[in-house]
Amino acid sequence: MDLAIRGARVVDGSGGPSYRADVGITDGRISTISTAERLTAARVLDADGLALSPGFVDMHAHSDLALLRDPDHSAKAAQGVTLEVLGQDGLSYAPVDDRTLAAVRTAITGWNGDGSDIDFDWRTVGGYLDRLDRNFGGQGIAVNAAYLVPQGTVRMHAVGWDDRPATARQLDRMRQLVAEGLEQGAVGMSSGLTYTPGMYADDAELTELCRVVAAHDGYYCPHHRSYGAGALAAYEEMVALTRNAGCALHLAHATMNFGVNKGRAPDLLALLDDALAAGADISLDTYPYTPGCTTLVAVLPSWAGEGGPDAILDRLADDATAERIRHHLEEIGSDGCHGVPVEWDTIEISGVTSDELGDYVGRTVAASAAARGEAPWTTARRLLLADRLGSTILQHVGHEENVRTIMRHRVHTGGSDGILQGDKPHPRAYGTFPHYLGRYARELGVLTLEEAVAHLTSRPAARLRLEDRGLVREGFVADLVLFDPETVAAGATFDAPRTPPVGIPHVLIGGKYVMKDGRRTDVLAGRSIRRTPRTGQ
């Protein structure tokens, strides 16, 4: 054996009771699990006092460019994350052509930066996955990564930024792009149905694309049409749509936010339980925090986004059109803000692309406006124009009881939704997984340690249909985390969001240390994880 981990408390990912054992690793896989005999190997790790679990799977990550630019990537590696699922919310960088790539880079600058430091030498999903594998001189990437075909990018490619139904030819082109992405290794398809242009797709169009996903044994991961007013109806829409298409459903950051949804998590879970009892294939992910995080431009009404980023900037520059936008935001409730009139005192600027705008960061739009003696919309409009739509926000609209209720559900998994950009990013990007283990398992008892680990390992691995990951089992890939169950905790806070976690000394990917004694090694053991058909199909 290459490595023997001795005396660990094995929390194997199944949800069953933990047990003490030695675990041996050979050629990147778990070769032996011994509860009686002491193992010997070329290297030995004394794990007395530590829990040993499978590596954590981040089911909702925005590291699409971070993995290419940052070989360290401790934001995730230090948390014990060994696999991230990229291509989220319907917007990412493949499949594209030159025109689409330029537009999507601008549209999600707030998520990933403008990409000026990246050589975009791919155009297809397969090309992007290949780039991950050959990155940093062929060494690979910090952690493993899977990819979802982004439906908004696909629509941008085939239809453009117009709010109109796709023609038959355009729909055929979208089907082709989704199929090609899945054939090249994507695990499913995502949507951002409060983001343009993906939100312009009607249910019939989405159903046709989901049929393609189902035919390739993938899953559909929608950021659905509302997390505020009409949230339950939006969930019902996704359940019905995927049942009609025969497609597996994974609900992205499945929260119930804003005042209208306080205490309504049981209504969502009742809907899911009824669908599951009727045979639906459903899972979901959440992050263990109440505020959300997105871009400031995302709260604008959908009509303001038609035509793409340059058209948005033109509308904001026009006084009459800007007043229409304000009226929708503040008085009607825009679809970009989930049908709820915007509350500027809940929207905190978390990042800007220009140092000259740094005074906005860490303050709500309402506070910045008050300091300037002007209306909040005037402040927001100025920032959108000056930062060319690149500003990110924290949106303080969640409810703790909803967070706890949803994370207990049997199909729940963990997803950080972590945006790594900005001077003051959401701490979920750096703290989600230890926060589950420390705060919600050890301190609050919302989940047992064994339950929490299952939510973060075997359940997402099952959704991704990874037959040799997500459990501590002989023959499985040695993606493993060793942590102290008595001290593990998120270091990241809203005031210091990039503080690393505590109590996670060792992380291995394929049997190689990516974290050792609490420090990031120089190992790049991550690779693309590509969709494979079910056994027997």
The structural domains of the chain, ordered by start, are 56-290+398-467 (3.20.20.140), 295-396 (no CATH)
If DSSP codes are grouped into helix, strand and coil, which group holds residue 508?
strand
pLDDT at 226: 94
Residue 66, number of CB atoms within 10 A of its CB: 24
pLDDT at 532: 76
Amino acid letter, 493? T
pLDDT at 534: 59
- Omega before 165 cis (within 30°)? no
What's the whole-model pTM score?
0.95
CA distances from 358 to 117, 294, 349, 352, 489 (A): 21, 18, 10, 7, 30
CA distances from 523 to 59, 135, 136, 514 (A): 23, 13, 11, 6
d(CA 342, CA 361): 19
pLDDT at 535: 45
From first to last of the 537 residues of the chain, give the pLDDT tens digit: 999 999 999 999 999 999 999 999 999 999 999 999 899 999 999 999 999 999 999 999 999 999 999 999 999 999 999 999 999 999 999 999 999 999 999 999 999 999 999 999 999 999 999 999 999 999 999 999 999 999 999 999 999 999 999 999 999 999 999 999 999 999 999 999 999 999 999 999 999 999 999 999 999 999 999 999 999 999 999 999 999 999 999 999 999 999 999 999 999 999 999 999 999 999 999 999 999 999 999 999 999 999 999 999 999 999 999 999 999 999 999 999 999 999 999 999 999 998 899 999 999 999 999 999 999 999 999 999 999 999 999 999 999 999 999 999 999 999 999 999 989 999 999 999 999 999 999 999 999 999 999 999 999 999 999 999 999 999 999 999 999 999 999 999 999 999 999 999 999 999 999 999 999 999 999 999 998 765 443
151-158 and 203-215 helices, crossing angle to 10°: 110
Write out the DSSP string of 427-467. Answer: THHHHHHHHIIIIIIIIT-SS-HHHHHHHHTHHHHHHTT-T
- Omega before 500 cis (within 30°)? no
CA distances from 88 to 148, 198, 418, 507 (A): 7, 12, 11, 25
CA distances from 46 to 287, 362, 491 (A): 32, 43, 25
CA distances from 24 to 36, 49, 342, 478 (A): 13, 18, 55, 9
> Which among 224, 167, 158 is positioned nearest to 190, based on CA atoms?
224
Contact between residue 111 and residue 421 where contact means Cβ atoms under 8 Å apart: yes
Contact between residue 213 and residue 182 where contact means Cβ atoms under 8 Å apart: yes
Contact between residue 131 and residue 115 where contact means Cβ atoms under 8 Å apart: no
